[in-house]
Structure 1
Amino acid sequence: MPSLEILEIILPALAAGLMIALTHAPLGLEVLKRGIIFIDLAIAQIAGLGLVVANIYLHERAGITIQLFALSFALLGGLFFRFIERKTPELLEAIIGSTFVLSASLALLLLADHPHGGEEIQHLLSGQILFVTWTDVLSHLPVYALILSLWFTLPKVRSGISFYFLFSLAITSSVQLVGIYVVFASLILPAIAAYKYKSKLPIAWSCGILSVIMGIVVSTLWDFPAGNVIVLSYAISSILILYAKLKHFSE
């Protein structure tokens, strides 16, 4: 394949991956700080369920309708978790995990008789980042720009219902671009990598940027599934970054 064609595939995928990495890093740090680790998986799966419902019953695969459907599902999930957080916070993590299992089971049931059910499940979980186009990137860019601008200019949005709204907004876009596995990895693993560092956000950003570049390059060169390779890249990067800090402490 000519190098120009490779660049046409890699560049929008890189842009999407980096856009997600930069947005997810501060969200992931907040999730780890709150101890609600599986909320990203749960809301990602709820948004995914919305995508499945729109696909099957509305025959939509793209456009504003499917965006609104997925976002509505994710926002309802976020509102529900906020309600539980206020009423019975000690049960929040258990309910988040249970909601993930329930929404995943519903999605599988809906796709059981779908002619392309296996393909749809694979797409939902691992994504198809190498099939992302510049049109996809530009359509989701305003969402991530809004989230980051609000996050850094209005600190109050990091708590209460505002956090769940921004989180749901980010997850809805990210699931469509890269799938549930990469969404979870890009939120939690950079936060883990930065856990022992004083300047956590720059470390989390560095971990995300390195992981996306490494994952996309490796998957393209060796023709591996991009989503799975990116997850492994996040794991390797976070382990190395955290190990470097722990080793420094032990010396």
Structure 2
Amino acid sequence: MPALEILWPVLILAFILVGIHAIFGLEIIRRGVIFTDLAVGQIAAVGIAVSSAFFEGKYQIPLSLGFALSCALLIAYASQNSRHIEAFIGLLYALGASSVMIVLSAGSEGDELFKRLMANDILFVMNDEILKAAGVYGIITLLYYVAYPRLNGFLKELFFFSLLSVMVTTSVPLAGVLVVFTLLIAPALVALLQYRFKPLLFGWIYGWIFVTLALVLSYHYDWPTGYSIVFVGTLITLTSVLWLEKRYQKNRKI
């Protein structure tokens, strides 16, 4: 079977994921709450683990969304009342990760599910799942650009983190927590460090490039797809960040 026939649905999904996550990634980095999506994603994963361990996989969406929205409420409150918000968010992530392991420890398939929750093999995502996700992301994007700017105070914080929670809850079953984090932070970080192009447009193009490279390498060398995206994305981004920062320091001395 030709590589393009296998990879094109995955490419479409990956491009959609980069598109929505870059939007929120820019806002998260500007806010200085970089680990928010990791925490929300990990708490959402608790809902998926509970569904698998106690309900035979049923009620996955309401459980994961309920856990994620609860996390969003805590983060929205802490963002206005805590002097050390990143530490608070980091502890939420640790709580989520440990909860997933405890919930899954009783089942025989716990280790395999945990691996999928961290970085799922998106090669096996069905076309109808891609369409459903695209619909959800479209609604989230519309609300982000139309409703979010009109809000203020705690309500605005809660609305932002609730949108983020819905996005992450949609993304984690498709791609996994680590892939979501990589797509959220890597394109946005490099986009904000360069000054020649508009950050969002640059973030999209940058993310699409490294995701395409990761998928080609994954197919050619039979690497796990999700972890390939994380590996390629983080490696290229770390290298790019060091180069851009060095260039910035050099320009400052001139």
| TM-score normalised per structure 2 | 0.89
Cα displacement string for residues 107-140 of structure 1 (whole angstroms, at most 9, x for unaligned residues): 1011112111111111111112111111110121
Aligned length: 244
Matches of residues 23-172 of structure 1 in structure 2 within 5 Å? 23-60=20-57, 65-88=59-82, 90-156=83-149, 159-172=156-169
- Distance in 2 of aligned mates of 1:157 and 1:75: 21
* Change in 2 beyond 3 A, CA 1:78/1:155: closer
Contact 1:32 1:188 in 2 (8 A): yes
Partner of 1:174: 171
1:17 corresponds, among 14, 17, 32, to: 14
2:200 counterpart residue number:
201
| Aligned residues with identical type, % of pairs | 31
Residues 1:188 and 2:190 are matched in the alignment:
no
Q: Deviations over 1:151-204 (max 9, x none)?
A: 233451784211111100110011011001101111111121112234211111
- Tell me, which stretches of 5 or more residues in structure 1 are unaligned? none
- Amino acid of the residue matched to residue 33 of structure 1? R
Confirm or deny: 8 A CA contact 1:37 1:188 kept in the other structure: yes
Asked if the contact 1:151/1:157 (under 8 Å) is kept, the reply is no
Distance 1:233 1:118 in 2: 24
The separation in 2 between residues aligned to 1:157 and 1:36, in whole angstroms, is 22
CA distance in 2, matches of 1:152, 1:139: 20
Supply the RMSD in Å over aligned alpha carbons. Answer: 1.9
One-letter code aligned to 2:109: H
Does structure 2 retain, via aligned residues, the 8 Å contact 1:111–1:117? Answer: yes
**Paired letter, 2:61:** Q
TM-score by length of structure 1 reads 0.90
Q: Please report how far the alpha carbon of residue 12 of structure 1 lies from its aligned counterpart in structure 2 after TM superposition.
A: 1.9
CA contact (8 A) 2:117 2:172 kept: yes
Q: Residue 74 of structure 1 aligns to which amino acid in structure 2?
A: A
| Residues in 1 aligned to 2:98 and 2:243: alpha-carbon distance in whole angstroms | 40
